[in-house]
Chains A and B, each alone.
Chain A
Amino acid sequence: MKRGDRTMLILTVALFAVCLLMLGGHFFFAERDDLTAVISQNGRVLRTIRLKGAKAEEFTVKCAGGGWNRIRVADGKICMADANCPDRDCVKRGLLGTAGDSSVCLPHRLEIRLSGTPDVDGATY
């Protein structure tokens, strides 16, 4: 093997190693896509809760005019447990546990949305 060939071989192996390091680092250090519930009112984020391993809790969000929504977190899921809005559509929505899921209380302008990587980019309804 010529000296030039050997140099090229070393270069090739080194480049290969760098590629492996880049790809390995990218996937190892990639942001963990943990399921997170974002609770917002009037478009303003009130609270974010990382659902994986979150402790069970219940809390109330109040809105103008005496409105309230009771939010429950348990077993890696979240829901509007109760509310005093007219149709209680937000409560009927049930448990949210998948990225992209959301429950909206239109009368109280309150939304819980699960971020993460959903299986679709958007949804019509």
Chain B
Amino acid sequence: MQQKAGTTNLTKNRIKPAVLLALAAVLVLAALAARVVFSDRKTEQVERDAYKLGTVVRISVYGQNRRSLDKAADDALERGITRLENEFSVNIASSEISRINSASRGGRQITVGGVPYDTGYLVGRALEIARETGGAFDPTVYPIVKLWGIGTDHARVPSDAQIADARSRISFGDVTVLKTNGTYEIKIGSRSRRQMALDLGGIAKGYVADVLAEMLRKDGIKCALIDLGGNIYVIGEAPQGRPWKLGIQHPHKPRGEYFGTVDVEDTSVVTSGPYERFFVKNGVRYHHIFDPQTGRPARSDLESVTIVSRVSANADALCTALFVMGFDKSAAFLAKHRDIQALLVRSDRTVFVTKGLESVFRLSDPSMKQETLK
């Protein structure tokens, strides 16, 4: 009898912790289930597509309040992209750049005052990058861009004399930017350089992405992807709570096929390559990345350049510059500028990765090999 009572007590004492343990396990399961079921619902997504900056642009913002997301995306599109395009575009007759270029057509050295902040600042920044890259990136390359017309319906191979004439009008050293009472004054041309023209096409998309990111952050957006025709800027981490996974266009495959991916947060990723815009004449491929020194499409041993930078304007301009420089000069440039993170695809199908990208880059094309830049 006593033994029976003892057994019963033992059973009683053991059941309770077991039940408690099971309850605890089920509570954990309930918490996980609630997270799975409700996490998707609390994040709203607002997307805006438009044809701007000569390409398809897409702004995707994520958050809890749909109305504020709508407002932030609309503002970014209208007050951000449209306003800046109307200042920078060489294809809009009333833009600030067109105003400077048309004034420059009339004389040897001209001064244009009252240039608004964004245009003045960006011309100044473009000139700095031109100096840093020894002219591999040059915002005065427009005479050459216009002459070849690549990407337009009048693309052609110009004569040597035409190229020489256009080259004589390229010189970033003959442009100066002065800040005067909130606006800028731009001097362009010299005695020997007349009819020069500016083109911010190699840096404008990056700068616009920077401005949009700043606008969205000020509007309280903590998660967004800005895609300006393949120039990407991401804010925060992806809505799934992990880094954004971005594909890098394969230089030999159709648009949308990647040779690898990068996992990034709060940064910009820009890629340039000769595959993007070109035309073929008599079996020769002429692409849109010009070498300002030769006035012809750059003959580079690189097939694509990707820059990852928190400043998209820098990424945009440096992609072009490094492509023009070719592998050896690019590697030397990157060794000197350790803060710049890059992926260089060389024509022997080697992907060179700077140290900062080693842990976030994943090569997916098994026919390519990966090396780290020293």
Please give the residue numbers on chain A whose beta carbons come within 8 Å of chain B beta carbons, in ascending order: 1-2, 5, 8-9, 11-12, 15-16, 18-19, 22-23, 25-26, 40, 42-43, 86-87, 92-94, 96, 98, 100-104, 106-107, 109, 111, 119-125
Contacts and interface: CB of A to CB of B under 8 A. Distances in A.
A26 B36 contact: yes
B242 to A, nearest CB: 9
Nearest to A44: B49
B155 A5 contact: no
Contacts of A18: 30
A109 B52 CA distance: 9
Nearest to B20: A8
A119 B246 CA distance: 9
A121 B11 CA distance: 56
Interface in B73-113: none
B216 to A, nearest CB: 15
Which size class do B's interface residues fall under?
Answer: 35 or more
B270 A12 contact: no
Q: Most chain-B CB neighbours within 10 Å: which of A43, A94, A101, A122? A: A122
Nearest to B49: A43
Contacts of A1: 11-12, 15
B231 A120 contact: no
Interface of B: 11-12, 15-16, 19-20, 22-23, 26-27, 29-30, 33-34, 36-37, 48-51, 54-56, 151-153, 155, 225, 227, 229-232, 234, 238, 244-249, 254-256, 258, 261, 269-271, 273, 276-277, 279, 306
B246 A15 contact: no
Looking at chain B's contact residues, the main secondary structure is mixed
Contact of B16 (A5, A119, A121, A124): A5
A107 B256 contact: no
A121 B49 contact: no
A19 B26 contact: yes
Contacts of A124: 230-232, 246-249, 269-271, 306
A1 B19 CA distance: 10
B306 A19 contact: no
A2 B255 CA distance: 68
Contacts of B232: 122-124
A42 B77 CA distance: 13
B54 A103 contact: no
Contacts of B155: 86-87
Contacts of A26: 33, 36-37
Contacts of A111: 49, 56
